[in-house]
Amino acid sequence: MIKRVLLIVLDSFGIGEMSDAYSYGDNGCNTLKSVSKSEFFDLPNMKQLGLFNIDGVTYFDNIKEPSASFARMEEISKGKDTTIGHWEIAGIESNKPLPTYPNGFPDEIILEFQKQTGHRVICNKPYSGTQVILDYGQEHIKTGDLIVYTSADSVFQIAAHKKVVPIEKLYEYCQIARNILTGPNGVGRVIARPFEGTYPDFKRTSNRHDFSLNPPAPTMLTELLKYKKDVVAIGKINDIFAGCGISKAIKTKSNEDGINKTINEMGKNFNGICFVNLVDFDMLYGHRNDVDGYAKALSFFDKKLPDIIATLNKEDILIITADHGCDPGDVSTDHTREYVPLLIYGEKIKSGVNLGTRPTFSDIGATVLNCFEIPIKIKGQSFLERIIKC
């Protein structure tokens, strides 16, 4: 039996367009390929695990003896956002996308939000998170009006200067929005976006907080808890699952902080899963079309990978994957409909097994439950028997 699983999501690290990418306007997208063009791209450790041996990754030289097993993961859910991607990893397959608002939120939502918060709303349209505070920050400071905006994702975001709206009050307003946004308007996440500074040097603080929908069905995480396993959430995992199925939540400020806290947590004695999201790839680089920044962040993760692997005991396994794409070389700044990588490593795991293209991210959740000999009552099929050493 496996004692611990370390599951790391490299947020937005896609490896090429899925067959239905055209229906999402994502023809030709490929996050890995775009980032590989940067002079800062250097992934020797993930290459050794087998990243370049994955089906469809044909633009690199693969290696003869990769040290991990590997696969290409296909998303079966209708969508390409963070919530749906993580839910699918954990065993929920979404038949329809969460609602989005390319023209802003309808009047009935905004009017009710204004009524309950006592603040007017400004903006109410899709916007870049850094640009929106530059364009509306001064008006917000002068009037106290709340900056509400969205994106191509299913999100309702509220930006406020920390000197105008204290952080706890901003969280209260987000909870009000979360209570309003239900049913057909049940967006995946309501996000607090506090910022600080003076114009034109406003900057977002690290006190972002996501108020997510509760998962609509049991997940890998709730099943693990049911069987008395530890579920440690690092980064925004706790937010994505609205705390459901989490026994310990650890906040992070950056990828580096997340990696350091992961290494620290893996040095402790627990029995279950450590589920990690590294968000900078998506938030700081993918959405800002910053190819070099994305490449530097990936190369930093790769440099730290030996330290992460060193935390594994004989009964532990490491799983590296992603939740969607966000091609920084694409013309848009939105998420992209891509396959994602899967690398599985550990002393109990066979090396060099090509699992091909898995039809759903949920195969990860099913495999994790199988690792702990827990009955699989979620979506997905375990591939453990193909990679576990006898």
pLDDT for the residue numbered 168: 98
Please tell me the distance from the alpha carbon of residue 193 to that of residue 190, in angstroms, as a whole number: 10
pTM for this predicted structure: 0.93
Residue ranges, comma separated, of all CATH 3.30.70.1250 domains in the chain are: 107-211
4-98+213-387 CATH fold: Alkaline Phosphatase, subunit A (3.40.720)
Residue ranges, comma separated, of all CATH 3.40.720.10 domains in the chain are: 4-98+213-387
Q: What is the pLDDT of residues 12-24, one digit of tens each?
A: 999 999 999 999 9
pLDDT for the residue numbered 186: 96
pLDDT for the residue numbered 1: 80
pLDDT for the residue numbered 101: 97
Asked if 214 and 190 count as a contact pair (C-beta separation under 8 A), the reply is no
pLDDT for the residue numbered 251: 95
Q: What is the pLDDT of residues 193-220, one digit of tens each?
A: 999 999 999 999 989 999 999 999 999 9
Determine whether 341 is exposed, middle or buried from the number of CB atoms within 10 Å of its CB (0-12, 13-18, 19+): buried
107-211 CATH fold: Alpha-Beta Plaits (3.30.70)
Q: What is the pLDDT of residues 288-312, one digit of tens each?
A: 999 999 999 999 999 999 999 999 9
Residues of the chain with pLDDT under 70: none
pLDDT for the residue numbered 129: 92
Please tell me the distance from the alpha carbon of residue 242 to that of residue 190, in angstroms, as a whole number: 11
3-state secondary structure of 170: helix
pLDDT for the residue numbered 163: 98
Contacts (Cβ under 8 Å, ≥6 apart) of 76: 88, 93, 359, 360, 361, 362
Please tell me the distance from the alpha carbon of residue 15 to that of residue 334, in angstroms, as a whole number: 16
